[in-house]
Every structure is written in C-alpha cells, then in structure tokens.
Copies of this chain bind each other. A is one copy, B any other.
Amino acid sequence: MKKIKIAVIGTGRIGQMHIENIANLREYFELIAIADSYNDHLEEIADKYQIPVFTKNYQDVLTNKDVEAVLIASSTDTHAEIIMAAAENGKHILCEKPIDTEIERIKKVLAVVKEKNVFLQIGFNRRFDHNFHKIHEYVTNGSLGDPQIIKVSSRDPEPPSLEYVKISGGLFSDMMIHDFDMVRYLSNSEVTEVFANGAVLVDPKIGDAGDIDTAIVTLKFANGALGVIDNSRQAVYGYDQRAEVFGSKGQAFSENDRLSNVELDNATGGHVDKIPVFFIERYTQAYVDELKAFYATVTEHKEPAITGFDGLQAVKIAQACLESLKTHKPVVLK
C-alpha cells in the first residue's frame, strides 16, 4: 500500500484528534508536518507522534515538496485562504466544515480548486457514521423506495460558551449545518425551500447575543420529499444524534448509540445505559473512516465522498434558514 505524505494545519482539539487518527492509520498516511500559528506545544505534539516538521507558518507546509496532501483544521475564517494556497501548491485537501460563511467566497475557492485540479474533501464526518451511513445505504439501494419524509434530530449536550456563540455565525451556520448536509445525503436530493422556527428556551443570554438555541426547520426537496430538522443546544441526557427516512417501501431510523448494551431491571422499572456526551466519542469511527475515504480519493483518483459543492450547498441552506427566521416566511433556494 502506498502511503500518502500528509500535513495537518491547525492543531486545536479537533486538529489533534486528526493527528492521532492519522498516526494510527500507519498503512495509509505518513504524517510529515504540522503547522499552527498559535499553539505553543507544537514541538511536544511533533515529538509525541514523531512528526519530522513543525512550524508556526502554514506556508512552510504548502511549499514543502514532499507534502502531497493537507488536512485543514484551523479556525473557519482561515479555511478559504489556506485551501486556495494549498491548491496553488498542488496539494490535495481535506478541510473541516465550513469552507467559509460567504457564498461568493466559497465559489471563488471552488474555482481555484477546480483550476488547480486537486481533490477537496469537506469534513462532514457524520456521513461516515455507521448509523447514518446504513440509512443512506437503505435509501441508495432502493430498500426504502422513493424517499418521502426525511427527519433529523441533532441536539448538543450543552451550549457552547457565550463568547463562541457570538462569533459562531449562529445556530444554523454553526450547528445545523451538519444536518443540512445530512438531509442532502439521506435524501439523495437537493433542498429547494426551507421554513425556520427558532426559539430561545435554553439560556436567555444566547438570545441576548442575537442567536437562538432551539430550532425546527422544515424543508422541501427536488425529488418531492418533505423534511424536518430539530436542534437544541442542550440535551441533558447526552449528544442526541438520530435520523429517519420514510419512503414508499418502508422506513429506516437510527437510535442513539449507548455506552453499553446492558439493561438493568429493578423495582422501579428498566434502565439502559447513557448515550455519549462528547462528539469525538460519538463519532470516533466516523473520523477514522473520513480519513480512509480521503485516502481512497487521492490514491484512486476518484471524486471525494464529500465535495466542495456539498460544502457550498450546506452554507446556502443555512443562509436561507436565517432569512426565513428573520422574515418569518418560507424561503426558496436559488
């Protein structure tokens, strides 16, 4: 098996998770460089994973001839710039979502990627989750017939800090964006219209910061199906991640994973284990499979599992939801 020489740009919590996964996929990747402008522990990380090169300047990584691909896990506002620079240097790219928050800027990024003929995969990790992937398989292999109703529930265990809320771009762009991608994935179709209801039920300070913490969005799809997504910033029982597709031949739905499959029965009833609280714990396997898919794309020269276009569409839907919330009317996607 040929190994891909890869570099990671951005070494925060999620960047370090990717570094760990890449290091463990030792038959797939050779991790030869990491870059981060802000992390004071770069050397320590490089040492732990025996990474030859570490630098505060991501340009060093992009001009490194040995580097074939980069994984971008830096802050959202740097994604567009780094993707374009990586493409200019002929590197294949796996970039965390979202590409950017502005449609025009995303289009420009995608044009550069296309021109430079490199692969760009977007980090919508949930597509690789065993549960959602299985539902998608049932949709795609015809087990469900024509999809008619698509439902996604996605609830965080607790709200992010108010500081983060203020710069997050809002619930639709920051949190529900995963679900916009998910409904496209599960319906095998495009969203044509949305209507958004939102509320501040978890913490009034989130409302003061100009955001919502609870939302229900209904959607229409090009294939005629209807859909609904619900989000809450706070599910006290854990990280609630479920989906359902109903079609002309049946339905498929996923339950939450639990920490164990043990049931306790006692005088007060039956009791089952908790669901995971932390997103990395919930999507451990999905983050690994995301890397394997990127490997296949690069080595087999095939279309990324999640393209730049997928990244663009999710942002478009998020912006339509924001408009719907403000105008209190359904919004047609252009």
Interface residues of A (CB under 8 A from B): 23-24, 26-27, 48-50, 130-131, 133-135, 138, 143-144, 146, 148-149, 151, 155, 195, 197, 199, 201-202, 214-216, 218, 220, 224-228, 230, 232, 234-238, 240, 246, 248-275, 328-330
Contacts and interface: CB of A to CB of B under 8 A. Distances in A.
A194 B201 CA distance: 19
Nearest to A215: B226
A143 B263 CA distance: 12
Contacts of A254: 260-263
B272 A272 contact: yes
**Which interface residue of A252, A263, A264 has the most chain B CB atoms within 10 A?**
A264
A328 B204 CA distance: 31
Given A232-B246, A237-B265, A251-B235, A218 B216 contact: yes
Given A131-B262, A138-B264, A148-B214, A270 B269 contact: no
Given A143-B266, A270-B274, 14 more contacts: A143-B264, A148-B199, A155-B246, A201-B224, A214-B226, A218-B218, A236-B248, A250-B265, A250-B266, A252-B264, A252-B265, A255-B263, A272-B272, A328-B330
Contacts of A262: 131, 134-135, 138, 252-255
B131 A261 contact: yes
Contacts of A197: 195, 218, 220, 226
**Which interface residue of A214, A253, A266, A329 has the most chain B CB atoms within 10 A?**
A266
How many copies are assembled?
4
Contacts of A216: 149, 218, 226-228
A197 B216 CA distance: 13
A156 to B, nearest CB: 12
Contact of A230 (B144, B151, B155): B151
Contacts of A272: 263, 269-272
A264 B136 CA distance: 12
Contacts of A256: 261
Contacts of A232: 148-149, 246
Contacts of A234: 248
Contacts of A26: 23, 48-49
A329 B257 CA distance: 38
Given A195-B195, A228-B230, A329-B329, A250 B274 contact: no
Given A216-B218, A224-B201, A232-B246, A265 B275 contact: yes
B253 A263 contact: yes
Nearest to A272: B270
A249 B266 contact: yes
B261 A255 contact: yes
A251 B261 contact: no
A273 B214 contact: no
A105 to B, nearest CB: 32
B237 A250 contact: yes
A23 B277 CA distance: 27
